Amino acid sequence: MGEYRFFLIIGLFLLFMPIAYSASIVPYLISPNSSINVTQNKFFNFTTGVKCIGGDCGNVTAILDPNAVYNPSLGAPYCETSESPCIAGSELLMSADNATYLNGTPAHEPNSPNTIDGCMDNESIKYKSRQTIENITITDLNGTFFREGDSLEINVGMYCVGNVVGTVISYNNDTQMHNFTYKQFIRCPSGAAFRRLLMNLTLDNIKGNHTIRSSTQFILQGNDTCIVYAYNEQDDLTFYVQGPKGVIPMNSGTPFYTTTQNPVYPENITVVDCLQNMKENQSCNITWSVNATGDINSTWEFFAIAESDDANVASNETEKVEVTIVQETVEEPPVEEPVRFNITLINGWNLISFPLNLTDKLVSAVLSGISYSRIFTYSETWKELAGSNSFNESRAYWINSSASQILTINGTEFNRLNITLTKGWNFIGYPSLNASLLNETLKEVNYSVVYSYNNSVWKSNVKARNESLNALKQFNPGYGYWVKVN
């Protein structure tokens, strides 16, 4: 199993929806739905479906990437590779450390404290009545990898209770020192709803783990990086800068990359328009074309998570499927078994051809076992062959045998051999071990007459003649033929 795990994350972000909203998003695997092997440096499709049940589901965001995973040693979500984007979804950050609903039931954050320095959330937060961080996405604006000095977009999904609150963005370039630098306060718009709060930030020129902190805050509470006032909450997302590759970016990367739009947000919803404003009982399929560029025999886990920022909308995940990268199988051409074929020669002239792909095409080699005086072929002009010449299996040959004897030839069968016919007379061979009907073999040829000569007997097939009157009805292996083309 590979060191890193890969996920299909289908995150749901509900904007301006009632708090009492109740629905479920059910994700399911379509293809593959069981473990598969994929060929290194070849594309394969990964398709998942989403169904909305129990109510309307709003706009859906589909992402083919491993989200951040909670790292217990850091105490926060962590993207251990340098590929962009780095995403901590609501399955990691939703709500606050010890939050409850208004009725007192627990609404705790999935992991606690979700900060690298142990900075805790306020104890008195009531989920959905106070501001909370729901998800964080960090995107490199200079490429598909986080590198020193690059510009970032910080995208915070936050439950806002109005424009008197917002988020403080702080930055740390060394998780061992745990020293954060205040960067910016982003104010929420008016109205209580889930919002996206954006800012840009430039990375320091330091290789290693960098951390972005998002802290909720009222507008007059200052610029602390660990906010201890009432109703405040903070979450960190740590990512590696200029590190080894390992996630699924777009267009390049290893061990996988996709050429399909990724992520598919509502902003680029035309890619998969069925994800927009999903209604009850509506389904949507998402397919990514993925190239497996990683190491041979490495195995990675893919699965889909469907989630909602609204705690009343049930989150679910598909079964996991293992994808193993294997070496491309190169099919060896079938081994052509050597074949022998006997051609019967009479004393005198014989019209022959070679039905095999000759092992040795030299005249001296092919005819070494017989006695003969002369051998000719024709291609626009007559040519007499010497021992140093080579035979062409598409042609016919006149051979003057010195005795009645057997000519044994060696070679392999042809899978296919095209013979070019020109207007006028063509002196051709029949390069096959299987006889065939002449009129079927030449049905696409505008010929007028075909002749063969065997055992001192001429036979003909005249196309204009009634077929029953033609003595020559088929092509036979070992025979040579004259064909006149109109």
> Alpha-carbon dihedral of residues 410, 412, 417, 423, nearest 10 degrees?
10
The pLDDT score that the predictor gives to residue 407 is 96
- Would you say residue 19 has pLDDT above 50? no
What is the mean predicted confidence (pLDDT) over 266-275?
61
Count of C-beta atoms within a 10 Å radius of residue 229 = 12
Asked if domains 1-66+251-329 and 67-246 share a fold, the reply is yes
Q: Which residue has the higher pLDDT, 16 or 413?
A: 413
Band the pLDDT of 12: cuts 50, 70, 90. Answer: very low
The amino acid occupying position 110 is P
Place of tokens 């207007």: 423
- Written as six digits, the tokens of 271 are 């890619």
- Would you say residue 20 has pLDDT above 70? no
The pLDDT score that the predictor gives to residue 293 is 84
- Would you say residue 463 has pLDDT above 70? yes
User: 142: part of which helix (H) or strand (E)?
Assistant: none
The amino acid occupying position 84 is S
Between CA 437 and CA 441 the distance in angstroms is 6
Sign (positive or negative) of CA dihedral 81, 200, 110, 94: negative
Q: What letters, b where the CB count within 10 A reaches 16 and e where it falls short, cover 403-430?
A: eebebebebebeeeeeeebeeeebbbbb
Highest mean pLDDT among 284-288, 309-313, 425-429: 425-429
Q: Where are the domains of the chain?
A: 1-66+251-329, 67-246, 339-485
Question: Which candidate, 291, 318, 288, 293, places its Cα nearest to that of 303?
Answer: 318
Length of the chain: 486
User: For residues 484 and 427, is the Cβ–Cβ distance under 8 A?
Assistant: no
- Would you say residue 256 has pLDDT above 90? no
What is the mean predicted confidence (pLDDT) over 5-27?
47
pLDDT in tens, 312-331: 666 667 777 888 889 888 77
For residue 345, what are the CA distances in angstroms to 351, 365, 368, 453, 484? 9, 17, 14, 12, 25
Band the pLDDT of 166: cuts 50, 70, 90. Answer: confident
Dmax of the chain from CA atoms?
117
- Which residues fall within 8 angstroms of residue 138, CB to CB, at 6 or more apart? 79, 84, 85, 86, 87, 146, 152, 153, 154, 155, 212, 237, 239
Specify the fold of 1-66+251-329: Immunoglobulin-like (2.60.40)
Place of tokens 């915070």: 156
Least confident of 27-41, 42-56, 220-234, 430-444: 220-234
What is the mean predicted confidence (pLDDT) over 42-53?
89
The amino acid occupying position 407 is L
Q: Which residue has the higher pLDDT, 146 or 365?
A: 365
Helix (H, G, I), strand (E, B) or coil at 440: helix
Band the pLDDT of 218: cuts 50, 70, 90. Answer: confident
Question: Which candidate, 144, 388, 112, places its Cα nearest to that of 236?
Answer: 112
What is the mean predicted confidence (pLDDT) over 226-249?
70
What is the mean predicted confidence (pLDDT) over 131-146?
85
Strand-pair partners of 384: 376
User: For residues 215 and 228, is the Cβ–Cβ distance under 8 A?
Assistant: no
- Which residues fall within 8 angstroms of residue 295, CB to CB, at 6 or more apart? 255, 325
Band the pLDDT of 14: cuts 50, 70, 90. Answer: very low
What is the mean predicted confidence (pLDDT) over 223-234?
76
Band the pLDDT of 397: cuts 50, 70, 90. Answer: very high
Question: Which candidate, 16, 6, 55, places its Cα nearest to that of 314?
Answer: 55
The pLDDT score that the predictor gives to residue 268 is 57
User: For residues 194 and 139, is the Cβ–Cβ distance under 8 A?
Assistant: no
For residue 237, what are the CA distances in angstroms to 16, 161, 217, 421? 26, 23, 18, 74
% of the chain residues with pLDDT over 90: 38
Between CA 81 and CA 83 the distance in angstroms is 6
The pLDDT score that the predictor gives to residue 363 is 96
Q: What's the angle, vertex CA 431, arms to CA 425 and CA 432, rounded to 5?
A: 130
- Would you say residue 91 has pLDDT above 80? no
What's the DSSP call for residue 219?
Answer: T
User: For residues 278 and 311, is the Cβ–Cβ distance under 8 A?
Assistant: no
Q: Which residue has the higher pLDDT, 46 or 303?
A: 46
Question: Which candidate, 283, 275, 269, 235, places its Cα nearest to that of 90?
Answer: 235
The pLDDT score that the predictor gives to residue 143 is 77
Band the pLDDT of 21: cuts 50, 70, 90. Answer: very low
User: For residues 10 and 308, is the Cβ–Cβ distance under 8 A?
Assistant: no
The pLDDT score that the predictor gives to residue 270 is 54
Which parts of 218-340 fold into alpha helices (H)?
none
Band the pLDDT of 335: cuts 50, 70, 90. Answer: confident
The pLDDT score that the predictor gives to residue 98 is 65
Band the pLDDT of 68: cuts 50, 70, 90. Answer: low
Least confident of 55-69, 316-330, 377-391: 55-69
Domain at 67-246: CATH code:
2.60.40.10
Q: What letters, b where the CB count within 10 A reaches 16 and e where it falls short, cover 117-136?
A: bebbbbeebbbbebbbbbbb
Question: Which candidate, 75, 51, 79, places its Cα nearest to that of 65?
Answer: 79
The pLDDT score that the predictor gives to residue 62 is 67
The pLDDT score that the predictor gives to residue 324 is 85
Q: Which residue has the higher pLDDT, 261 or 149?
A: 149
Count of C-beta atoms within a 10 Å radius of residue 156 = 25
- Written as six digits, the tokens of 318 are 């598909």
What is the mean predicted confidence (pLDDT) over 435-455?
94
Between CA 21 and CA 314 the distance in angstroms is 11
- Would you say residue 4 has pLDDT above 70? no
Average pLDDT taken over every residue of the chain = 82
- Would you say residue 10 has pLDDT above 60? no
Between CA 25 and CA 269 the distance in angstroms is 18
% of the chain residues with pLDDT over 70: 80
Helix, strand, coil percentages, rounded to 5, for the chain: 5, 45, 50
Between CA 27 and CA 49 the distance in angstroms is 6
Band the pLDDT of 61: cuts 50, 70, 90. Answer: low
The pLDDT score that the predictor gives to residue 11 is 34
